[in-house]
Amino acid sequence: MALDFKYEEDDVQLSVYAKALAHPARVTILKILGENDAYTCGEIVRELSLSQSTVSQHLQELKNAGLITARAVGTKSEYSLKLKSVGKAEKLFKKLFKLIE
């Protein structure tokens, strides 16, 4: 007999953020974007010394999680932190770690 267990919305969102942060390159990308208003993929590639395709994949993961945004500037995209989501992620992680202290 299966139970109809429903996860809390905040727990689901926290798991999305955690998955997006589960690679050191993505953590580093967030740090880079936190220190700069906006960066193109090419600028991030130069910072990380990773291939353009690898950085693009990491940016897509962060974008899918809602942690960054992209806006078209000419033929390129500029990426920046989505501050509201970063703030929510911080709040949810703090809440979790406070519970397990």
SS (H, E, C) 44-89: HHHHHCCCHHHHHHHHHHHHHCCCEEEEEECCEEEEEECHHHHHHH
Token readout for 14 is: 């926290």
Q: What was the pLDDT predicted at 51?
A: 96
pTM: 0.89
Domains, the chain, in order of start with CATH, read 9-99 (1.10.10.10)
List the pLDDT tens digit at each of the 101 positions of the chain: 567 788 999 999 999 999 999 999 999 999 999 999 899 999 999 999 899 999 999 999 999 999 999 999 999 999 999 999 999 999 999 999 987 76
